[in-house]
Amino acid sequence: MRRGFAAALLLAALAAAAHGAPAGEHEAGRKIWNLRCYYCHGYSGDARTLAARFLRPPPRDFAALSPEQLPREAMLAAVRDGRPGTAMQAFRSVLGESEIAAVVDFVRTEFVRHKRPNTRYHTAENGWPRHERYRAAFPFATGEIATDVRWEDLDASQAEGRRLYMSACVSCHDRGRVREPGAVWELRAVSFPPNEDACSGCHVYSKALHQGVRPPGHPAADRGANPYTVHDVPPALRNPSRQAKRGEQIFQRNCAFCHAADGSGKNWIGAFLEPHPRDLTDRAFMAGRTRAQLAAAIREGLPGTSMPAWKSVLAEDEIAALAAYLEAAFGPLAR
């Protein structure tokens, strides 16, 4: 398996070199993509991700384009400066010019020109030992079987694969292929721990944490799962107002995706964003802000960061409720 994987990498690198990108630069671009870009654009550049379903306009589907449709200079500018009115942020403060060129050339070669699937992600090196255990779920990830097919039309193995896919794999794969699109799913920010328990370890342990217990005898209970999962637990509020309780619901349904349920920004998603989401548990920061300033940041967003403007999504009373919750959970604020 490892020899085949290494051979595939070598062939990809040689192909890249044949089209003008040195092998080392191509692999450097792949590394940047796999760290910073895949969560929205998809591991294979096709934007088939859970995050993509919540972004308007959706991320670019590079696999659907030809090199002529998207000039290299336009791509360099998009990575460097972002694209106003979209979720594509500027990376000039995160990546150097050579790194921007490397990831753009990787995308053009790997996805736009050759429509490749990128390297195999579910490896032991990426935290997925014995991934073949989940083979029953593979047909739903690849789209071979629609995830909304009738249960009575599935055999026992397929039914087990669907249950596994819908309880775990959807975190990154979205709902795969469906026959009836339906409504966009309700979003809930739960971290993914790359440990040997993979799918089941994440969901069993995360659910237990929310209930305030650790599953007895579960391997994750002994290891403490991973450094992200502990941030999926919301802070307990003491005598919150009705407005703050409403703000809590809004925060956990929307803001926790990046800021984490505990407001630290140290969950799985927050770790990928540059600059990282604001750590709302920083008492010194909160003490220097007023409710009005927090509401303005929520309403208008923060240019040059991953914090978008929410004024077209939330009403003014909802923004006010959010600010009240932030003070109740992470304050006190300045007066």
Which pLDDT band holds residue 30 (cuts at 50, 70, 90)? very high
Q: Is the confidence at residue 87, as pLDDT, over 90?
A: no
Q: Spell out the long-range contacts of 90-94 with Cβ–Cβ below 8 A and sequence spacing 24 or more.
A: 90/304, 91/36, 91/274, 93/274, 93/275, 93/304, 94/36, 94/274, 94/275
Residue with tokens 């790194």: 99
Q: With beta carbons less than 8 A apart as the criterion, state whether 140 and 147 touch.
A: yes
Contact 307, 301 (CB under 8 A): yes
Q: Within its chain, how far is the Cα of 322 from the centroid?
A: 23
For residue 49, the model assigns a pLDDT of 79
Q: Is the pLDDT of residue 290 over 80?
A: yes
Q: What is the CATH number of domain 2-113?
A: 1.10.760.10
Return the number of other C-beta atoms located less than 10 Å from residue 6's C-beta. 10
Rounded average pLDDT over 197-206: 39
Residues in the chain: 335
Dist. CA 66–CA 111, nearest whole Å:
9
In this prediction, residue 209 carries a pLDDT of 37
Q: How confident is the model at residue 119 (pLDDT cuts 50, 70, 90)?
A: confident
pLDDT tens per residue, range 262-271: 999 988 778 7
The CATH class of 242-330 is mainly alpha
SS (H, E, C) 42-86: CCCCCCCCCHHHHCCCCCCCHHHCCCCCCCHHHHHHHHHHCCCCC
Per-residue pLDDT band for 21 (boundaries 50, 70, 90) equals low
The model's confidence at residue 15, banded by pLDDT at 50, 70 and 90, is very low
Angle CA 102–96–19, to nearest 5: 15
Per the CB < 8 A criterion, the answer to whether 17 and 250 are in contact is no
282: confidence class by pLDDT, cuts 50, 70, 90: very high
**Interacting residues of 98 by C-beta distance below 8 A, sequence separation 6+:** none
Domain ranges of the chain: 2-113, 125-173, 198-226, 242-330
Please say if the pLDDT value at position 50 is more than 80: no
Given a cut of 80, whether residue 2 has pLDDT beyond it is no
pLDDT, tens digit, for every residue of 154-196? 999 999 999 888 877 876 677 778 888 776 555 555 555 444 3
Residue written as token pair 């799913």:
185
In this predicted model, which residue has the larger pLDDT, 3 or 296?
296
- Look at residue 183 in the predicted model and tell me its pLDDT: 62
Q: Which of 117, 121, 118, 182 is nearest to 147 (CA)?
A: 182
Mean model confidence pLDDT for the chain: 80
Please check whether residue 228 is in contact with residue 271, taking contact to mean a CB–CB distance below 8 angstroms. Answer: yes
pLDDT at 58: 86
Q: In this structure, are residues 327 and 333 in contact, taking their beta carbons and an 8 Å threshold?
A: yes
Q: Collapsing DSSP states into helix, strand and coil, what is residue 306? A: coil
| Residue 169 token pair | 């794999």
DSSP summary character for residue 277: P
pLDDT at 325 over 90: yes
